[in-house]
């Protein structure tokens, strides 16, 4: 009888290696499985991976300027950056502008304006009057068109754009900017807005998460422990706002919270002096209250689903072993709900950090968050590079948070429902 | 110390959940210190409720529960100092075995060294010493059961409650654990109140068994009495196997009566809580009956029988017979005394001793 040799490959009865045979037999089902997930895979790729990729490229892309003004940037390498450059640089700039069409110059001037405001009108005026220049020397004639050509700061700002990639948008989103030759410096005081915004966004997200946890945990506990008929009713109360249109909810909050709103009227009716009406709308407080209410179900549901799986016998056992109900709760029940708390908190935090519509409608001036500014740059200033950079920072922040969560709690422990 | 009185006392305890039906109807039960008492009964008989009232997780609707002479109705569970093994063990999944065992000690603010020593001893007692660092989820059912037992005992309670602790184990392990619990009870001398629906478990371990049905204790006795001398049909039926014959009680003298089985004749039986003229169900244990093809002596009570079916079970043969119109009449024949003429279709007689035949209350 032949005994199977350890290092000999196993064969099927008709001599095909077992591994090959196994692969062959599984090929069909693997293909079928792949075909089934293919539509979703394609959808995710087109609608998720590609946009995120393009978001990322846009946030660092700086090729446009280099393509439109190639001669200028070539000449820039020979410049010492001290004084207004000489004739060759002006000649290069002139030739570049002459070769470019109007639309390109418009786009380039917008980009250059981010580095140094004033570029836009400078280029516009120059390109309009360029036909008056009929030959070298260019320096004097261009200086005649616009005296900014004689200011060294404008030439210096070009050095920030010399590479086909830039971190300028990222610097801008944290109140920094490029100085001469890509040295990093602070934005001037009056242009610093984003650091405050990031801090406010973080603060709002954290506070909303904490409030959601404080308000949602007892509700989840009730949901998990009440008899079925009552818990169903409570569940509906939790879910109905969840199913209601976001706008409807926000507008009802406006009715509730404004100066002449239900809450203030009630307080006044109970004796609050008229002039003490609380400002709860169009500010930080408004954003906080409304976001907490809107995001509450995201906290309640994961915690509830975890609590549902904890048999009451644990609490009983803990008390039987001598723990007071409070101690039993803290040491036995609560630790077991941590996966739910983690999932709920991370969910609420992630949704809150990129929230847009609520702060837009009820936030007023000091309740706006980073999301509102991303939209602002997308829609109003058309500075997509900056919007993309802020988006990428948000995404990175969330990924870091996720990573931390995995390190500390473990993603396997997360229960979404 | 109320050392003279019973250690645990249920006094006229009633319990209702909805105010309409009583789950426990007037329970009176005394348990002595060091005793192993089992509450046995089918599900819904109120036995677990009784246990939960003792542990403090349910409140008695009426009546008093006394522990060591003091009423405990108003003492919260965590101050009762009663150990308990739960049906599904209720080991805390986020703690290791050691932490689980240290839990009752740490809430009692015991020192670290003492705690470690007690935990180690408790784990050694159930032979789980090397599993201290595992989580409950990493243990098998039997191991979890041992840990649960150790945890209920580690803080040295005088009373330990067990709520069907072996229900989730397979048969062999369950039998093994029965002996182990019994031995631990004997060596520690703790009082144990044990709830189960498994009658063999109850017979194996208990000093006394309270058979519950319908919220009432049907009989409270030691295992031998319970099996040999059931006081009513429910107990006879619930503990062990039982053959039933229906009839009418005749004249009773010295506790023995003649039961009229109608057209099947009459038999002598011990009269238990019945009086003349009552309808009765006569109870006969299958292993106390002999079958023979010849008619036995007239002094021995007997009835004609016909063999219907034989089932070979190794150590004994279950023999289904038709006796007095009951075709579910079972006789257990020991393997060693199996005779060749015991075959389906054979006619003969079944006989027994008068004291093994008990005329009990009638069940339809």
What is the pLDDT at residue A333?
94
What is the pLDDT at residue A344?
92
Q: Which of B82, B87, B92 sits opposite A320 (nearest CB)?
A: B82
What is the pLDDT of chain B when averaged over all its residues?
89
Q: Do B78 and A322 touch (CB under 8 A)?
A: yes
- Is it the case that residue A200 has pLDDT exceeding 70? yes
pLDDT in tens, A30-78: 999 999 999 999 999 999 999 999 999 999 999 989 899 999 998 888 8
What is the pLDDT at residue B15?
93
**Closest approach of chain B CAs to the CA of A179, in angstroms?**
55
Rg (CA), chain B: 25
What are residue B111's phi and psi, to 5 degrees?
A: -65, 160
| Percentage, residues of chain B above pLDDT 70 | 98
Closest CA to B125 of B163, B160, B79: B160
| Percentage, residues of chain A above pLDDT 70 | 97
Residue B282, beta-bridge partner list? B245, B359
pLDDT in tens, A252-281: 999 999 888 899 999 999 988 888 888 888
**Closest approach of chain B CAs to the CA of A316, in angstroms?**
7
CB atoms < 10 A from the CB of A199, how many? 11
What is the pLDDT at residue A367?
84
Q: List, in order, residues 6 or more apart from B124 with CB less than 8 Å away.
A: none
Q: Which residue of A has its CA nearest to B102?
A: A321
pLDDT in tens, B135-179: 999 999 889 999 999 999 999 999 999 999 988 888 888 888 999
For residues B341-350, b (16+ Cβ closer than 10 Å) or e, as one string? ebeeeeebbb
Give the end-to-end CA distance of chain B in Å, rounded to a whole number: 49
pLDDT in tens, A237-247: 999 988 999 99
* Band of residue A2 on the pLDDT scale cut at 50, 70, 90: very low
Q: Do A319 and B155 touch (CB under 8 A)?
A: no
Distances (CA, A) of A380 to A72, A372, A373, A375: 30, 11, 10, 8
The A-side interface with B (CB below 8 A) comprises: 311, 313-314, 316-325, 327-328, 331-332, 335-336, 338
**Average confidence (pLDDT) over A101-124:** 89
What is the pLDDT at residue B1?
42
| Percentage, residues of chain A above pLDDT 90 | 47
ipTM attached to this prediction: 0.82
Q: Which residue of A has its CA nearest to B104?
A: A321
**Average confidence (pLDDT) over B264-275:** 85
pLDDT in tens, A346-392: 999 999 998 988 999 988 888 889 999 999 999 998 899 999 999 99
Q: Do B107 and A327 touch (CB under 8 A)?
A: yes
DSSP for A24-84, written as a single string: HHHHHHHHHHHHHHHHHHHHHIIIIIHHHHHHHHHHHB-HHHHHHSHHHHHHHTT--SSS-
∠ CA B88-B92-B98, rounded to 5°: 115
- Is it the case that residue B364 has pLDDT exceeding 80? no
- Is it the case that residue A6 has pLDDT exceeding 80? no
CA separation for the pair A152, A94 (Å, rounded):
17
Q: Do A327 and B103 touch (CB under 8 A)?
A: no
CA separation for the pair A201, B253 (Å, rounded):
95
Helices A102-115 and A384-408 pack at an angle, to 10 degrees, of 50
**Average confidence (pLDDT) over B228-254:** 88
Q: Do A313 and B86 touch (CB under 8 A)?
A: yes
Which of A307, A319, A322 should be substituted to probe chain B, the one whose Cβ sees the most B Cβ atoms within 10 Å?
A322
User: Starting from the edge strand earliest in sequence, which strands make up the sheet with B216-221, in order?
Assistant: B83-85, B159-163, B191-196, B36-40, B208-213, B216-221
pLDDT in tens, B92-141: 999 999 999 999 999 999 999 999 999 999 999 888 889 999 999 999 98
CA separation for the pair B161, B176 (Å, rounded):
19
Contact list in B for residue A321 (CB cut-off 8 A) is 78, 83, 103-104, 107, 151, 155
What is the pLDDT at residue A1?
42
Q: Which residue has the higher pLDDT, B3 or B210?
A: B210
* Band of residue A19 on the pLDDT scale cut at 50, 70, 90: confident
* pTM, two decimal places: 0.80
What is the pLDDT at residue A301?
93
DSSP for B209-248, written as a single string: EEEEETTEEEEEE-HHHHHHS-SSHHHHHHSS--EEEEEE
What is the pLDDT at residue A413?
65
Most confident of A198-207, B246-255, B303-312: A198-207
Contact list in B for residue A332 (CB cut-off 8 A) is 92, 103
Q: Which residue has the higher pLDDT, A106 or A215?
A: A215
Strands B256-260 and B243-253: antiparallel
pLDDT in tens, B292-348: 888 777 778 888 889 999 898 888 889 999 988 888 899 998 888 767 677 888 888
**Residue A199, H or E segment:** helix A194-225
Closest CA to B71 of B83, B84, B85, B53: B53
DSSP B300: S
- Is it the case that residue B91 has pLDDT exceeding 60? yes
DSSP for A328-369, written as a single string: HIIIIIHHHHHHHHHHHHHHHHHHHHT--HHHHHH-TTTT--
What is the pLDDT at residue A212?
97
- Is it the case that residue A219 has pLDDT exceeding 90? yes
What is the pLDDT at residue B273?
84
* Band of residue B257 on the pLDDT scale cut at 50, 70, 90: confident
Q: Do A336 and B78 touch (CB under 8 A)?
A: no
The B-side interface with A (CB below 8 A) comprises: 55-57, 76-84, 86-88, 90, 92-94, 103-104, 107-108, 151, 155
CA separation for the pair B94, B82 (Å, rounded):
23
């Amino acid at each position: 009888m032949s005994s199977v040799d350890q290092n000999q490959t196993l064969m099927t009865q008709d001599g095909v290696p077992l591994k090959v045979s196994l692969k062959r037999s599984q090929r069909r089902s693997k293909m079928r499985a792949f075909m089934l997930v293919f539509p979703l895979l394609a959808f995710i790729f087109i609608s998720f991976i590609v946009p995120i990729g393009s978001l990322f490229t846009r946030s660092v892309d700086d090729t446009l300027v280099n393509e439109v003004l190639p001669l200028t940037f070539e000449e820039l390498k020979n410049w010492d950056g001290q004084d207004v450059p000489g004739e060759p640089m002006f000649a290069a700039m002139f030739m570049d502008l002459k070769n470019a069409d109007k639309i390109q110059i418009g786009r380039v001037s917008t980009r250059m304006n981010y580095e140094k405001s004033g570029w836009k009108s400078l280029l516009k005026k120059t390109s309009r009057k360029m036909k008056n220049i009929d030959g070298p020397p260019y320096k004097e004639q261009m200086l005649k068109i616009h005296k900014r050509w004689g200011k060294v700061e404008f030439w210096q700002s070009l050095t920030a754009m010399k590479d086909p990639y830039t971190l300028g948008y990222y610097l801008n989103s944290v109140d920094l900017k490029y100085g001469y030759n890509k040295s990093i410096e602070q934005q001037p005081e009056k242009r610093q807005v984003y650091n405050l915004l990031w801090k406010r966004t973080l603060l709002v997200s954290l506070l909303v998460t904490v409030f959601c946890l404080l308000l949602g945990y007892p509700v989840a506990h009730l949901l998990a422990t009440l008899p079925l008929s009552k818990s169903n009713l409570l569940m509906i109360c939790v879910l109905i706002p969840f199913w209601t249109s976001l706008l409807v909810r926000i507008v009802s909050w406006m009715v509730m919270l404004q100066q002449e709103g239900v809450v203030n009227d009630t307080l006044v009716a109970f004796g609050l002096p008229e002039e003490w009406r609380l400002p709860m709308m169009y500010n930080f407080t408004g954003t906080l209250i409304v976001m907490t209410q809107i995001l509450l179900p995201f906290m309640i549901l994961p915690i509830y689903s975890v609590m549902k799986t904890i048999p009451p016998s644990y609490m009983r056992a803990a008390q039987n072993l001598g723990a007071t109900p409070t101690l039993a709760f803290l040491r036995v029940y609560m630790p077991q709900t941590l996966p739910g708390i983690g999932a709920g908190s991370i969910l609420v935090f992630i949704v809150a950090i990129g929230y847009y519509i609520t702060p837009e409608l009820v936030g007023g001036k000091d309740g706006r968050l980073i999301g509102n500014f991303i939209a602002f740059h997308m829609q109003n200033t058309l500075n997509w590079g900056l919007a993309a950079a802020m988006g990428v920072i948000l995404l990175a922040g969330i990924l870091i948070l996720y990573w931390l969560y995995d390190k500390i709690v473990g993603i396997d422990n997360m229960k979404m429902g | 110390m109320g050392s003279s009185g019973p250690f645990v006392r249920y006094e006229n305890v009633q319990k209702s959940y909805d105010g309409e039906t009583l789950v426990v109807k007037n329970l009176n039960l005394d348990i002595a210190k060091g005793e192993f008492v089992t509450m046995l009964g089918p599900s819904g008989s109120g036995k677990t409720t009784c246990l939960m009232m003792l542990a403090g997780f349910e409140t008695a609707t009426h009546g008093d529960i006394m522990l060591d002479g003091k009423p405990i109705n108003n003492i919260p569970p965590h101050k009762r100092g009663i150990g308990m093994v739960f049906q599904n063990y209720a080991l805390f999944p986020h703690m290791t075995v050691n932490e689980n065992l240290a839990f009752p000690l740490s809430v009692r603010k015991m020192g670290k060294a003492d705690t470690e020593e007690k935990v180690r001893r408790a784990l050694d007692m159930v032979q789980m010493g090397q599993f201290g660092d595992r989580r409950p989820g990493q243990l098998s059912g039997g191991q979890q059961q041992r840990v649960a037992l150790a945890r209920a005992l580690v803080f040295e309670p005088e009373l330990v409650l067990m709520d069907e602790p072996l229900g989730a184990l397979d048969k062999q392990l369950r039998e093994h654990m029965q002996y182990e619990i019994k031995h631990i009870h004997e060596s520690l001398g703790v009082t144990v109140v044990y709830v189960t629906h498994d009658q063999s478990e109850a017979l194996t371990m208990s000093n006394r068994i309270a058979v519950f049905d319908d919220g009432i204790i049907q009989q409270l006795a030691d295992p031998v009495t319970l099996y040999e001398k059931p006081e009513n049909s429910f107990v006879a039926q619930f503990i062990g196997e039982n053959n039933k014959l229906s009839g009418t009680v005749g004249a009773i003298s010295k506790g023995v009566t003649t039961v009229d089985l109608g057209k099947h004749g009459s038999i002598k039986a011990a009269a238990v809580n019945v009086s003349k003229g009552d309808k009765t169900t006569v109870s006969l244990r299958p292993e106390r009956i002999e079958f023979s093809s010849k008619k036995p002596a007239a002094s021995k009570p007997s009835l004609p029988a016909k063999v219907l079916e034989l089932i070979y079970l190794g150590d004994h043969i279950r023999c289904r017979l038709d006796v007095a119109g009951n075709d579910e009449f079972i006789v257990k024949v020991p393997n060693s005394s199996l005779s060749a003429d015991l075959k389906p279709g054979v006619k003969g007689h079944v006989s027994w001793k008068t004291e093994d035949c008990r005329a009990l209350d009638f069940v339809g």
